Amino acid sequence: MNRAEPLVLGIETSCDETGIGIVRGRTLLSNTIASSMDEHARYGGVVPEVAARAHLEALQPSIEAALAESGVALADLDAVAVTSGPGLAGALMVGVGAAKALAVSLEKPLYAVNHLVGHIAADILDDQAPPLEYPTVALLVSGGHTSLLLVRDLTTDVELLGETMDDAAGEAFDKVARLLGLPYPGGPEIDRAAASGDNTAIPFPRGLSRASDMAGHRYDFSFSGLKTAVARWVELREAAGEQVPIADVAASFREAVVDVLVTKALAACRDYGVPRLLLGGGVIANRRLREVALERAAAEGVTVRIPPLSLCTDNGAMIAALTSELIMAGRAPSTLEFGADSTLPVTEIQVAESA
Amino acid sequence: MILGIDTSLGSAVAVVEPDGVIRSEARSLDPRGHAEAIGTLLERAMAEASVTPSDITHIAAGMGPGPFTGLRVGVAAARAFALGRGLPVVPVVSHDAVALELLLHSALTADWGFVGDVEDGAAETFAVVTDARRREFAYTLYRGIDDDGLPIRVAEPALVPRDELDAVLAAAGAKRREADRIPAAMLALAAARALSAGRTVGPDDALYLRSPDVTLPHAPKRVNLPAASGRAANGRSAAAAPPAPAVRGQDPA
Ligand SMILES: [Zn+2]
Contact A47 B212 (CB under 8 A): yes
Give me ligand 1 centre to Cα A111, in Å. 18
Contact B245 A53 (CB under 8 A): no
Beta bridge partners of A162: A148
Contact A44 B245 (CB under 8 A): yes
Contact A56 B80 (CB under 8 A): no
How many angstroms from the chain centroid is the CA of residue A111? 20
Contact A235 B214 (CB under 8 A): no
E strand or H helix that includes residue A9: strand A7-12
Which residues in chain B touch residue A171, judged by CB atoms under 8 angstroms apart? 248
Give B52 to chain A, closest Cα distance, Å. 9
Please report, for residues A75, A262, A274, B14, B86, the alpha-carbon distance to residue B56 in angstroms, rounded to integers and kept in the order given: 16, 54, 54, 11, 10
Whether B22 contacts B72, CB under 8 Å: no
Distance (Å, rounded) from C-alpha B228 to C-alpha B220? Answer: 15
Fill in the amino acid letter for B35: A
C-alpha closest to that of B193 among B43, B92, B84: B92
Q: Look at residue B67 in the predicted model and tell me its pLDDT.
A: 94
Q: Look at residue B232 in the predicted model and tell me its pLDDT.
A: 35
Distance (Å, rounded) from C-alpha B253 to C-alpha B242? Answer: 24
Fill in the amino acid letter for A146: T
Q: Report strand pairing: B136-145 vs B151-161.
A: antiparallel
C-alpha closest to that of A206 among A229, A235, A233, A188: A229
**In A71-196, which ranges are continuous DSSP H helix?**
89-106, 115-121, 169-179, 186-194
Contact B251 A48 (CB under 8 A): yes
What is chain B's alpha carbon radius of gyration, rounded to the nearest angstrom? 22
Distance (Å, rounded) from C-alpha B133 to C-alpha B138? Answer: 9
Which of A42, A56, A88 is closest, CB to CB, to B206? A56
Give me ligand 1 centre to Cα A154, in Å. 16
Which residues in chain A touch residue B40, judged by CB atoms under 8 angstroms apart? 336-337
Mutate to test the interface with A, among B73, B213, B218, B236 (most CBs of A within 10 A): B73
Q: Look at residue A103 in the predicted model and tell me its pLDDT.
A: 98
- What is the tens place of the pLDDT at every residue in A93-145? 999 999 999 999 999 999 999 999 999 999 999 999 999 999 999 999 999 99
Distance (Å, rounded) from C-alpha A265 to C-alpha A146? Answer: 11
Q: What is the ipTM of this complex?
A: 0.95
Beta bridge partners of B125: B143
Contact A56 B225 (CB under 8 A): no
Which of A60, A101, A231 is closest, CB to CB, to B223? A231
Mean pLDDT of successive 10-residue segments in chain A (355 residues)? 96 97 98 94 90 98 98 98 98 98 98 98 94 96 95 98 96 95 94 97 95 92 97 96 96 98 98 98 94 98 96 97 98 97 97 94
Whether A262 contacts A293, CB under 8 Å: yes
CA atoms within 13 A on the CB side of B184: 33
Give me ligand 1 centre to Cα A281, in Å. 5
Which residues in chain B touch residue A238, judged by CB atoms under 8 angstroms apart? 233-235
**In chain A, which ranges are continuous DSSP H helix?**
37-41, 48-70, 89-106, 115-121, 169-179, 186-194, 211-217, 224-239, 246-271, 287-299, 309-312, 316-328
Whether B79 contacts A59, CB under 8 Å: yes
Confidence of residue B213 (pLDDT cuts 50, 70, 90): confident
Distance (Å, rounded) from C-alpha A293 to C-alpha A330? Answer: 35
Give me ligand 1 centre to Cα A308, in Å. 14
